[in-house]
């Protein structure tokens, strides 16, 4: 049998088995090569015997996450690891898509909010690799064994800093209540202090503060979106600086709040699940990234349409004999008096 201990980052784990020749060790303080069962999780082989016996498991950790124990057959343990690898592959592919999409669009449009989204997704990707346990699996023995755990803790807090900074910048485009928007700045400052606390050696306290801020932030962003000064429904003759309806904005932040509520409910034990307490934070990040990507894509399309409409209006009163527009590419060709006057691309205006 295999005794599996999760999450992947726990400081010191010791299994005392009367049938084992010595105490079995696992955790961040011990090299992975000491484990007989190589995995992103902590595993101990438990020998089966007809006579009943007691086993003692000792766990020490600074982590704020719950500890899960499972007794599996070898085949079940292998299947569980394969399932985790597939889950990680899907997460990796999704986050890489977010990074590539946002980077390409930032290079094209140079919008600060899209650049901040790209930074937040890079941070989420690096942190997700650590949370799934793959950083510790490839960590060399000659480096301090506590390194992966510390890097994951730092990555979680830094990723949250970029997360708040992005939403503060995004919501600021829709002219919400200034008090609520400044409250997001306060959350950003508190998360930065938590990061400094981690660097000062207060790892557990810093993670507790970060976990609290992580639960509060979706509530704050939802109410901030409610105060946005944009119409609930987007009319056809909407001003060029209005790119989204309030219904869309509030709906997206409502779904973000719901996804955090599911994760928090699993942590509080409101329903039984091993997946949400262990990997809910990366699942939450994937949900947020997907929803925000749709929001940004819609906004970019509206900006391009408004830019083309403005260009058409500018030339409508002049002596233009031909106007060709390829909307999908934003390409415009204007012919005046039989001579091509303008041929190129109509760039979208930059807002920030």
How confident is the model over 71-94, as pLDDT tens digits?
888 888 888 888 888 888 888 888
Per-residue pLDDT of the chain (352 residues; tens, 9 = 90+): 888 888 777 788 888 888 887 888 887 777 766 677 777 788 888 888 778 888 888 888 776 677 888 888 888 888 888 888 888 888 888 889 999 998 988 888 888 888 999 999 999 888 888 887 777 777 777 777 777 788 888 888 999 999 999 999 999 988 899 999 999 999 999 999 999 999 888 888 888 898 889 889 999 999 999 998 887 776 565 555 556 788 888 998 998 888 888 777 766 666 666 666 677 677 777 888 888 888 888 777 777 776 666 666 666 655 544 455 444 444 445 444 444 444 444 444 443 4
Could you tell me the maximum CA-CA distance found in the chain, to the nearest angstrom? 100
Give CA–CA dist 27/38, Å, rounded.
13
Order of all β-strands in the sheet with 2-6: 42-45, 2-6, 68-72
Contact 110, 350 (CB under 8 A): yes
Give CA–CA dist 9/28, Å, rounded.
6
Beta bridge partners of 25: 14
- How far is residue 311 CA from its own chain's centroid? 38
Contact 61, 67 (CB under 8 A): yes
- How far is residue 261 CA from its own chain's centroid? 16
Beta bridge partners of 191: none
- How far is residue 305 CA from its own chain's centroid? 30
Beta bridge partners of 342: 334
Give CA–CA dist 9/180, Å, rounded.
36
N-terminal to C-terminal alpha carbon distance within the chain: 57
Give CA–CA dist 46/77, Å, rounded.
13
Short-list 82, 60, 86, 81, CA closest to 70: 81
Residues 175-202 have pLDDT tens digits of 899 999 999 999 999 999 999 999 888 8
């Amino acid at each position: 049998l295999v005794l599996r201990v999760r999450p992947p980052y726990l400081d010191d784990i010791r299994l005392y088995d009367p049938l084992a020749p010595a105490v079995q060790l696992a955790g961040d303080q011990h090299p992975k090569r000491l484990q007989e069962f190589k995995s992103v999780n902590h595993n101990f082989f438990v020998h089966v015997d007809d006579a009943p016996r007691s086993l003692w498991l000792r766990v020490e950790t600074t982590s704020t996450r719950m500890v899960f124990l499972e007794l599996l057959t070898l085949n079940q343990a292998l299947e569980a690891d394969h399932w985790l690898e597939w889950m990680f592959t899907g997460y990796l592919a999704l986050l890489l898509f977010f990074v590539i999409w946002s980077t390409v669009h930032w290079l094209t449009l140079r919008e600060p909010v899209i650049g901040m989204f790209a930074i937040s997704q890079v941070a989420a990707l690096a942190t997700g690799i650590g949370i799934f346990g793959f950083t510790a699996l490839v960590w060399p023995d000659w480096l301090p064994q506590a390194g992966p755990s510390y890097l994951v803790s730092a990555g979680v807090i830094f990723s949250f800093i970029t997360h708040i900074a992005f939403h503060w910048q995004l919501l600021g485009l829709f002219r919400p209540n200034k008090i609520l928007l400044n409250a997001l700045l306060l959350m950003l400052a508190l998360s930065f202090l938590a990061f400094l606390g981690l660097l000062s050696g207060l790892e557990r306290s810093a993670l507790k503060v970060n976990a609290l801020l992580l639960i509060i932030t979706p509530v704050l962003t939802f109410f901030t979106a409610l105060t946005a000064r944009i119409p609930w429904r987007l009319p056809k003759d909407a001003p060029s600086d209005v790119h989204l309806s309030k219904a869309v904005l509030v709906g997206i932040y409502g779904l973000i709040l719901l996804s955090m509520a599911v994760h928090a409910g699993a942590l509080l034990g409101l329903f039984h699940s091993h997946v949400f307490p262990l990997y809910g934070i990366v699942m939450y990040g994937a949900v947020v990234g997907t929803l925000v990507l749709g929001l940004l894509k819609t906004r970019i399309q509206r900006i391009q349409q408004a830019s083309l409409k403005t260009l058409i209006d500018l030339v409508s009163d002049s002596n233009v004999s031909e106007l060709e527009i390829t909307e999908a590419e934003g390409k415009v060709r204007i012919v005046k008096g039989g001579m091509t006057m303008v041929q190129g691309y109509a760039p979208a205006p930059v807002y920030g």
